[in-house]
Amino acid sequence: MSRRPTLEFLKTEAASGLILVVAAAAAIIAANSPLADRYVAFVAHPLTIQIGAFHETKPVLKWVKEGLMAIFFFVVGLEIKYEILRGELSNPRRLALPVLGALGGMIAPALVYLAFNMGPGGAPHGWATPTATDIAFALAALAVAGPKLPPSLRVFLLTLAIADDLGAVALIGILFTSQINIWALGAAVSALALMALMGRWKNAPYLFYAVLFAIVWGFTLESGINTSLAGVAAAMTVPIGARRHGQAGVLADFMRSLHPYVAYLILPLFAFVAAGFSFKGLSIGQLFGPIPLGVALGLFVGKQIGVFGLSALAIGLKLARKPTGARWAELYGVSLLCGVGFTMSLFIGGLAFPPGDTAAQAGVRLGVVAGSLLSTLVGMAVLAACQRARDEEPAET
């Protein structure tokens, strides 16, 4: 796994981004069509899971967010661990630019959101909503608009999005954990310790990891802590080394086997159940209310200012290097694509506002879709222009 499935990962993310577009569009169409009642009934349909003493009844949307998305965060955690130990995050010189870009890309959108929500009628507690970047959407847009642009731009975007995800997971843990069941949390930590110990057993059946992960997830759900943290924490216990010389590592096996299911099934399903909102009853005032405006402009304006601004400052101060072979306009285009928040922003926005606050939830979804769409279209236009400029340059002899 010297080079790891970086290219495989990029290809899968790019392809899944296109599927996410279709899933989100289908959700919005369904929510505003004669099928609206069926769509709402499906999303709100209660499902009961009972295994021994474990008994929970939640609507489909909740199970997708708290159940299936834990697997997504497990894969994100695997990617973060690999990058820290063997990949881009292990090299301080390469790490500086995307991490600083990610930091700017979290601070500036939050400030833009707060600028619209500190006054009357605002909702300042939703400031974390526009701070995330959707890896799949952003990579898909980059692959379509600039397929021949320097590969360093893709690695920069991927690394920045991973650092951004790490920050988003931290925000979820800090902001959206209220009451904690200490006994359930202790049981989850004990199961995590068993997973870590199992890493010493080179030939441990993968089924054992799956069972322990399910136990960690179940106790975390009962503890009151968001299950996204369970996914990332469990990923940190998976050994990166190979079982036998010449074989792929355990972490690589999990990445390769789980990532397609996450990219092509879990994330599209989440997009379908989370993105749908009805325009019915929305007034012009609500469309341009503080929540949708704060989220949309946080993603579209805040992200590009934060990512490009802090990246340019770091390069100018020689704290970091510009991606190899990349030009300033191309770096700006990638910074625009960082405003594609979509799945992560929908996830955080869904946590920031009560499920019963339908107006706020609709505002979040409208803002996320609008901000992500603007970032995608403008970012792709800039990168396509950069691609044309390169294509029109005379070939070197």
In the chain, the percentage of residues whose pLDDT exceeds 70 is: 90
- Give the pLDDT confidence of 266-296 residue by residue, as tens digits: 888 888 888 777 777 666 666 778 999 999 9
Provide the domain count of the chain: 2
Residues 241 and 189 reside in one and the same domain: no
| Residue at 396 is within a domain | no
* Predicted pLDDT at 281: 63
Residues 230 and 304 reside in one and the same domain: yes
Residues 12 and 69 reside in one and the same domain: yes
Residues 215 and 329 reside in one and the same domain: no
Locus of tokens 């070939």: 395
| Residue at 159 is within a domain | yes
Residues 293 and 368 reside in one and the same domain: yes
* Predicted pLDDT at 303: 95
| Residue 262 near residue 75 (C-beta atoms within 8 A) | yes
Which residues are registered as beta bridge partners of 242?
249
Residues 210 and 325 reside in one and the same domain: no
Residue 289's Cα: distance from chain center in Å?
Answer: 25
Locus of tokens 């650092």: 163
What is residue 204's DSSP assignment? -
Tokens (6 digits) for 107: 């601070």
More confident residue, 203 or 327: 327
| Residue 4 near residue 133 (C-beta atoms within 8 A) | no
Residues 296 and 158 reside in one and the same domain: yes
Q: What is the mean pLDDT of residues 310-314?
A: 94
Distance between CA atoms of residues 272 and 35, nearest Å:
14
Listed in sequence order, the residues at least 6 apart from 372 whose beta carbon sits closer than 8 Å to its beta carbon are 134, 137, 299, 339, 340, 341, 342, 345
Distance between CA atoms of residues 157 and 220, nearest Å:
31
Domain range enclosing 218 = 178-225
| Residue 106 near residue 114 (C-beta atoms within 8 A) | no
Residues 320 and 365 reside in one and the same domain: yes
* CATH of residue 267: 1.20.1530.10
Question: CB atoms < 10 A from the CB of 47, how many?
Answer: 12
| Residue at 50 is within a domain | yes
Residues 152 and 245 reside in one and the same domain: yes
Burial of 236 (0-12, 13-18, 19+ CB in 10 A): middle
Residues 269 and 160 reside in one and the same domain: yes
* Predicted pLDDT at 339: 93
| Residue at 397 is within a domain | no
Residues 230 and 280 reside in one and the same domain: yes
